[in-house]
Chain A
Amino acid sequence: KAGVTQTPRYLIKTRGQQVTLSCSPISGHRSVSWYQQTPGQGLQFLFEYFSETQRNKGNFPGRFSGRQFSNSRSEMNVSTLELGDSALYLCASSKGQTLIQETQYFGPGTRLLVL
């Protein structure tokens, strides 16, 4: 079974630009979560999508947004990039169908550098 895939793997942008990152979950998984990892703040939850609906959101500004498509693929967008947005962005998928917190499987991440 193919794992979680993320594209692109590396990205360099300048301040003020916007960026879109993509995540394809494991086949059959309908829940996709996004995390930001930085040396200072560690791993922080951004948001979670299930069946094209955002069910949960972390404490990030509105510049961070996402969406999920009918095939469960998800994208996240960061507008008006700031230097502090430089991070590794990780996507994780799980079946997401029950109230039990299922195991999340992570992709390789997208490393974003903002200059």
Chain B
Amino acid sequence: AQKVTQAQTEISVVEKEDVTLDCVYETRDTTYYLFWYKQPPSGELVFLIRRNSFDEQNEISGRYSWNFQKSTSSFNFTITASQVVDSAVYFCALSFNAGGTSYGKLTFGQGTILTVHP
């Protein structure tokens, strides 16, 4: 069975602080994909990043960075110098090679509500 856990339900920070959102996943598959999405109040899920299980390189995109560690089954997301516009719900998701019961299916964590205060 696959499972994604985002233990932090809510995080509140002041602008310019760094913040890390945790994501822990469970799977028996050797090939899988991990995603992060952002959901602003408008409701649309905005894609942020996709990683496959064979690529453990950390990635940085502007103020965003991701730390993928297979040894601890974690895929954490850090926002550096947070801004008010970063306030949203962030979801981590897991999927497998498309096929059978995996077609088009993402398994999501419960999400972390991030509030950045000015």
Residue numbers of A with Cβ under 8 A of B are 31-33, 35, 42-43, 45, 47-50, 55-56, 58, 88, 90, 92, 94, 96, 98-109, 111
Contacts and interface: CB of A to CB of B under 8 A. Distances in A.
A71 B98 CA distance: 22
A47 B105 CA distance: 8
Contact of B98 (A32, A43, A99, A111): A99
A110 to B, nearest CB: 9
A33 B104 contact: yes
Interface residues of B, number: 28
A100 to B, nearest CB: 6
Interface string B19-61: 0000000000000010101000011111100100000000000
B87 interface: no
B103 to A, nearest CB: 4
A99 B72 CA distance: 26
Interface of B: 33, 35, 37, 42-47, 50, 91, 95-111
B104 A56 contact: yes
Contact of A50 (B101, B102, B104, B111): B104
Contacts of A102: 98
A96 B43 contact: no
